[in-house]
Chain A
Amino acid sequence: MLDHVPHAKAVGLSIVSVEKGAAVVKLTYDEKLVGNPDTGVVHGGVITTLLDNCCGIAVGMALGEMRPIATLDLRIDYMKPATPKLDILARADCYKVTANIAFVRASAYHTDASDPIATAVGAFMLDTVKTKSKSQAT
């Protein structure tokens, strides 16, 4: 599910596990992801990418089939800086799917999910490609 996403590959994301409506994704630490060269802490934007992608996979796992989806919004709370040189895990749970929208929550952490680096809530639009071809709108 990540092999065909160029940016997921470029950043270094890999799927750890999936289940119905949930996903765990790993971000492998790399120097190129650093946001503060003094401390070696990864950029907040990397966490955004990790959480966004993990949420998207959880939505796919809730739908049970590959349907085109798009992030509608994402809210991220940063609780503490990531520890330099450590990989980061994210777990996302898609807790509600309606006709058009899927709702997801997620958190990023090193080893202990109860001590998060960041948490996120998001909404995803479903069947975005079909909607687009119907209305011809962008």
Chain B
Amino acid sequence: MELLQRARAQRSKVDLQALIDAIPYCRFLGIEVDRKGSELTMILRFDRKLIGNPILPALHGGVIGAFLETTAIAQLILETESAELPKPVDIGIDYLRSGKPVDTYARAVITKHGRRVCNVRAEAWQDEHTRPIAALHGHFLIKPKE
């Protein structure tokens, strides 16, 4: 991505919010970045269009999965030198609690940083960090530096 390549070329920090805003699907979902140094928390602002079960009501499982995947990608952009947007190879999502119609937060940790592939874990929560609503683990392809 041009924004990413420019930041890498200038050896400057990537403006993650600008990068997320440049991705149409992340804008559509309403994802925000809260970055404090190397610590990154992603925020998914609640909107009615994110509902999958209107009776409960609960967030769509796909939305939660997409949010966790985006969180993993953002963490990889921050911590790796990947010249391109990391690509998911495989992901596993465990749904732990139903997603209530409120804002959702997520953080990711890189478990293993390989040269081409990274293993990442991410967790999403709402009111209480200790009561996660979903967890993701996955492998992502990164583009190694030349």
Chain A contact residues, CB within 8 Å of chain B = 4-11, 31-38, 42-46, 48-53, 56, 68, 70-78, 81, 128-129, 138
Is B60 in contact with A33, judged by CB distance below 8 angstroms? no
A49-B28 contact given A6-B49, A34-B23, CB 8 Å threshold: no
Asked if residues B65 and A36 are in contact (CB atoms below 8 Å), the reply is: no
Interface pair B69/A48, CB less than 8 Å apart? yes
Q: Is the CB of A7 within 8 A of B24?
A: no
Interface residues of B (CB under 8 A from A): 1-2, 22-29, 48-56, 58-63, 65-67, 69-70, 85, 87-95, 97-98
Contact assessment for A37 and B23 in the assembled complex, using a CB-CB cutoff below 8 Å = yes
Interface of B is mostly: mixed
Closest residue on chain B to residue A128 by CB atoms: B98
Q: How far is the CA of A53 from the CA of B64 in the complex (A)?
A: 13
| In the complex, residue of chain A having the shortest beta-carbon distance to the beta carbon of B2 | A38
Q: A50: which B residues are within 8 A, CB to CB?
A: 62
Query: Does A33 contact B28, Cβ atoms closer than 8 Å?
Result: yes
B63 touches which of A7, A34, A129 (Cβ 8 Å) = A7
Contacts of B65 in A (CB 8 A): 45, 48-49, 52, 74, 76
15 A–B contacts, CB within 8 A, in A order: A4-B54, A6-B48, A6-B49, A7-B50, A32-B24, A35-B23, A43-B26, A45-B25, A45-B65, A48-B65, A52-B62, A52-B65, A70-B61, A71-B93, A129-B56
